[in-house]
Amino acid sequence: MERFDVLVVGSGSGMTIVEGAINKGLRVALVDKDPLGGTCLNRGCIPSKMIIYPADVVQETRRAMVLGVKATIDEIDFKAIMGRMHESVDHDRHHMEESVAKVPNLTYYPVQSEFVGDYKMRVGEETIEAKDIFLVSGARPEIPPIKGIEDVPYLTYRNIFDLEAPPKSMVIAGGGYISCELAHFFSALGVEVTIVSRSPTLLRHIEPEIGSTITRALNTRMSVLISTEVKSVTETRGIKAVTVADAKGEKTIEAESLLIASGLRGNADILKAEKTGVKADDRGYITVNEFCETSKPRIWAFGDATGKAMFKHVANREAELVWHAYDNGHRQALDYDKIPYAVFTCPEVAGVGLTEEEAVKRHLKYLISIYPFSDTAYGDAMGDKEGFVKMLVEEETYKILGCHIVGPQAPILIHEVIVAMNAGDGSAYPLLDSMHIHPALSEVVQRCVWRLQKPGHKHT
Active site residue 86: no
**Closest CA relative to residue 402, chosen from 362, 343, 458:** 362
Cis peptide before 347 (omega within 30 of 0): yes
33 class by beta-carbon count within 10 Å (0-12 exposed, 13-18 middle, 19+ buried): middle
Cα torsion angle, 345, 349, 350, 355, sign: negative
The DSSP code for 453 is: B
How does DSSP assign 124-165, residue by residue? TTEEEEEEEEEE---EEEPPP--BTGGGS--B-TTTGGG-SS
Q: Which position among 94, 95, 205, 438 bears the catalytic label? A: 438
Q: How far apart are CA 404 and CA 342, in angstroms?
A: 10
Q: How far apart are CA 167 and CA 179, in angstroms?
A: 16
**Closest CA relative to residue 153, chosen from 241, 257, 262, 231:** 257
Q: How far apart are CA 417 and CA 211, in angstroms?
A: 21
The answer to whether 392 and 359 are in contact (CB under 8 A) is yes
The answer to whether 292 and 316 are in contact (CB under 8 A) is no
**Closest CA relative to residue 408, chosen from 213, 261, 223, 196:** 213
Residue 127 φ then ψ, to 5°: -125, 130
**Pairing mode, if any, of strands 192-196 and 169-173?**
parallel
Q: Which residues have a catalytic role annotated?
A: 438
